Amino acid sequence: MKIEGENTYIKLDAYLNNVKDKQTTDTSVRTVHTETVKEDKVVLSPEVREFQRAKKLIGSIPDVRDEKVAMVKKEIEAGTYQIDGKKIAHKMIKESLLNELA
């Protein structure tokens, strides 16, 4: 592009002033924008905090009761462990029914 004429410098000055104004406006808009941004905040109700505390306590309970396992192992080794077939069948049926309802 070729610029000709006696007002070439005036046009260039006007262009540069326009660019400076735009940069100043963009900077001030960015500054205003960052100043008005608010932080999101989550506030939990007392019930939820209590639920979290209960969940944490439940999580701290071991999945395996070591003392119970040790007792059963001793009974098996000694040959004194008794299996109640009716009790096992009852629990199996109960669990099966619960799974069907779920």
Residue 58 lies in a domain: no
Q: Which domain holds residue 96?
A: 65-102
**CA dist., res. 102 & res. 96, Å (int):** 10
**Residue 41 falls within a domain, yes or no?**
no
Amino acid at 28: S
Residue 56, domain member (yes or no): no
Residue 86 lies in a domain: yes
Looking at the domain assignment, is residue 79 inside a domain? yes
Q: pLDDT by residue (tens digit) across 79-98? A: 999 999 999 999 999 999 98
- CB count, 10 Å around CB of 40? 4
Task: Say if residue 26's pLDDT is above 60.
Answer: no
Dihedral sign (CA 71, 74, 80, 84)? positive
Domain membership flag for residue 17: yes
Residue 60 lies in a domain: no
Split into its structural domains, the chain has a count of 2
pLDDT value, residue 81: 92
Q: What is the pLDDT of residue 41?
A: 86
Is residue 58 pLDDT above 60, yes or no? yes
Tell me whether residue 44 is in a domain. Answer: no
